[in-house]
Structure 1
């Protein structure tokens, strides 16, 4: 019997190709900041890593303290230097411009009153005042931005001053010829001085004084950022030394101790130096600048009063007040003398030593005498004795002119004293900050190096 061959069924073969699997997603690219954070987190889990982090933070804090201190104190020192060498001198020059212009007007009217033959002293005084005002205007223009308020007022003064001097020369020419028209020109020149020149000079003085006050305030402002960073750096250094003591039972770490000493020196130098500078600048402002302003106002009031007193005789009642009831120049004289008395009272209260008080008291005495002599001259003039009144105003003996000179000389002496006081105090304030920016930077570098060395000393114990 025949059997069919045994047929073995071949096993079903596996598929030739396996189903395609999706490719593995490559790890997302991590930024430098993320990697750094992870490494920092990892380092913070070990004591050596923590020490490295603390060392870096301490070094950064100490260097930041030095940098911020150097920047802020350099800024304060620059402002203090501006007070001494720029702002205050420009403010003083602006006051001198005003005084010179007012004095020139006074000298012109005094010379006019003397008659056709103008006294040589009055002429030279006028020329000296005009030359000084012109020279100071050139100096101020060289140190002032033309687009600023000061620049605009300087331009106005440079434009108006030649016109004023031209009118004065015309008045002199007519006066030498004995023509009454000279008096009209003199009054016109005085009006130009009062209306145009002196207001511009006052605005210039106000602008320069405002700049002085800004520089002074800036120089005195506390370096808050430097003090805050310094306290933070010192606190961090103390904390690290305490941490080191608690973990190792070692009292001192020479590197950290040196860094703490450096930070302490800078912080004390900063606090003491700026406190001294601030105190000296406060003294310069309180005992110098305030007195200078009051004395300048007093001197200007005396000059205006003297010019109006002279013009009272020049005009002889031809110019009245707006209501038509009083002589304009006599009214302005009275107002000027009242302002002068008020300023002198204020100056007397501000004077803080005998050298400052003495000239002010001499000026007060001169003003009292001036008023008495003026009243006598006014009575003589009203009685119709013009020549007698003229002698009492510009005469060589017991005249109001002598009283005015006494007041002016006393105020000049007081101004010179207060100027020296201001300059001394302001220079002391500037000097208190000298060397601090450079010293702070050097000590900060040494302190940072000490902090790093101190931390490295601890790290070496783990190797």
Structure 2
């Protein structure tokens, strides 16, 4: 019965106009609905980039850095003798507290069954073990017992073999989630774009049909609907293009630099810890083939990686504010290596106390060079973090309001279609 009515209506011009108007209004509404849905998904992913995945990635990097710095401070404090400098003790305490605080925050926003959740559990379990070993090392060191050095080396082994690898895996997992969220936010809304093209083509066809049958150039309702669809399609195309460009810039110019700089800072911290442990162990820990000091070998590898990462970071920096601290870090690394060679030569000549001053002394020491490297890298990281945040915020902002605007323009377009078609139908009454 219903199909007969439709066929009967289609045989008359008013009936055909009613069918065309209904289909056209539905197409406009569908265009708005699909656009709202797809852009809401992209906007949600962009929100995750700014508010969840990048902060979690940054927290994971901070956990790694705090643990590595705590290990460096522990070794440096041990070298200073029975009375550790208060500044070193305080920095060690702050590092441990910061790592613990960030682990609690990460656990609160991470499913414990995921790989990230498992790494957080591992770190929470191993951190008290590490700090317990450090306290035993300190207690023995204060009493002048050589067992303190063994406890310190064991604590360093726990840090190097268990805590830092777990922190590195956590950082890799969170950075991977950031990459996925950014990719989701940048995906083209192909269905929306296709729907917009179809709607505009249909509106043009209907207006051309109206002109050929009535010789009237304009139908106000259909013109308003065409304008609404055009505005929405342009807003969609331009807004998403801007969002894609800004989010890509955030990842390639911000996050990539952050990743390199984080690794550079971690390698500097590990190199400093190995440099200190070289004096603590006094040649008692050798490489598997017994040909060289293990800590000195690890120091050399860390410095080589640090140098390579600084070169890459300088290439990635896109302005002078980003390049300047990286260049400063590179100069300080060169000075650090020079002072290290001098300290090693002094130690090899049997002057342990002289080498100790050259490693942990207040002036002209490798410790001073390390601090200069660390300060420069902190500046570079702060700059690149700002670059990332600004670009990601701009990308998210380009999508803001588009889902709501799509709904409003779709309703306006559908109403305009109905009014325009009704105007034509009134001519047959």
* TM-score bracket, shorter-length normalisation: over 0.9
1:380 aligns with 2:346: yes
The corresponding residue for 1:75 is 41
The one-character-per-residue Cα deviations of 1:83-142 (angstroms, maximum 9, x if unpaired) are 001110000000000000000000000000000110111100100000000000000001
- The corresponding residue for 2:121 is 155
Distance 2:293 2:93 in 1: 29
Between the aligned partners of 2:87 and 2:349, the Cα distance in structure 1 is 30
Is 1:84 the equivalent of 2:50?
yes
Aligned ranges 1:1-16 → 2 under 5 Å: none
- Alignment-derived partner of residue 293 in structure 1: 259
Check if 1:433 corresponds to 2:392.
no
1:415 is paired with a residue whose SS is helix
Structure 1 consecutive aligned stretches of length 4 or more whose deviation exceeds 2 Å: 35-39
Following superposition, the deviation at residue 39 of structure 1 comes to 2.2
Task: Deviation per CA, 1:306-332: give whole Å up to 9, x if none.
Answer: 000000000000000011111000000
Distance in 2 (alpha carbons) for counterparts of 1:118 and 1:384? 24
Corresponding residue of 1:403: 369
Distance in structure 1 (CA, Å) of the matches to 2:320 and 2:142: 47
Matched residue, 1:333 = 299
Which residue is 1:264 aligned to?
Answer: 230
- What secondary structure does 1:432 align onto? helix
Quote how far apart the aligned CAs of 1:36 are. 2.8
Task: Using the TM superposition, give the Cα deviation of residue 44 of structure 1 relative to its aligned residue in structure 2, in angstroms.
Answer: 1.2
Query: Is 2:68 the counterpart of 1:102?
Result: yes
Q: Is 1:117 the counterpart of 2:83 in the alignment? A: yes
The CA deviation at 1:286 is 1.1
Separation in 2, partners of 1:449, 1:293:
51
Deviations 1:123-168 (A, max 9, x none): 0010000000000000000111111111000000000000000000
| Equivalent position SS for 1:462 | coil
Higher helix residue share = 2
Within the alignment, does 1:190 sit opposite 2:153 as a pair? no
CA deviation after TM superposition for structure 1 residue 461, in Å: 1.0
Partner of 1:363: 329
Could you give the per-residue CA deviations for residues 436-456 of structure 1, whole angstroms, max 9, x where no partner exists?
100110110010000011111
Q: Is residue 355 of structure 2 the alignment partner of residue 389 of structure 1?
A: yes
Of 132, 144, 159 in structure 2, the residue corresponding to residue 166 of structure 1 is: 132
The answer for the alignment partner of 1:48 in structure 2 is 14
Q: Within 1, Cα distance between the matches of 2:249 and 2:172?
A: 21
Instruction: Report the RMSD for the aligned CA atoms in angstroms.
Output: 0.6
Give the TM-score taking structure 2 as reference length: 0.99
The aligned counterpart of 1:3 is none
Shift in Å, 1:271: 0.5
Q: 1:237 aligns with which of 203, 212, 215?
A: 203
Distance 1:182 1:167 in 2: 9
Secondary structure of 2:58 counterpart: helix
Alpha-carbon distance in 2 for matches of 1:152, 1:40 = 62
Identify the residue that residue 274 of structure 1 maps to in structure 2. Answer: 240
Aligned residue pairs, count: 429
2:413 counterpart of 1:447 = yes
Q: Hey, what's the Cα distance between the residues in 1 that align with 2:266 and 2:6?
A: 72
Task: Supply the distance in 1 between the matched residues of 2:7 and 2:198 (Cα, whole angstroms).
Answer: 24
Output one character per residue of 1:233-276: Cα deviation in whole Å (capped at 9) or x when no partner: 11100110010001000000011011001100100000011011
Give the SS at the match of 2:427: helix
Q: Report the TM-score when normalising by structure 1.
A: 0.92
Structure 1: which 5+ runs fail to align?
Answer: 1-34
Shift of 1:397: 1.2
Following the alignment from structure 1 to structure 2, what is the Cα–Cα distance between the partners of residues 351 and 279?
18
Matched residues in 1 for 2:131 and 2:198: separation? 65
Q: State the Cα distance separating 1:38 from its structure 2 match.
A: 2.6
Q: Deviations over 1:1-36 (max 9, x none)?
A: xxxxxxxxxxxxxxxxxxxxxxxxxxxxxxxxxx33
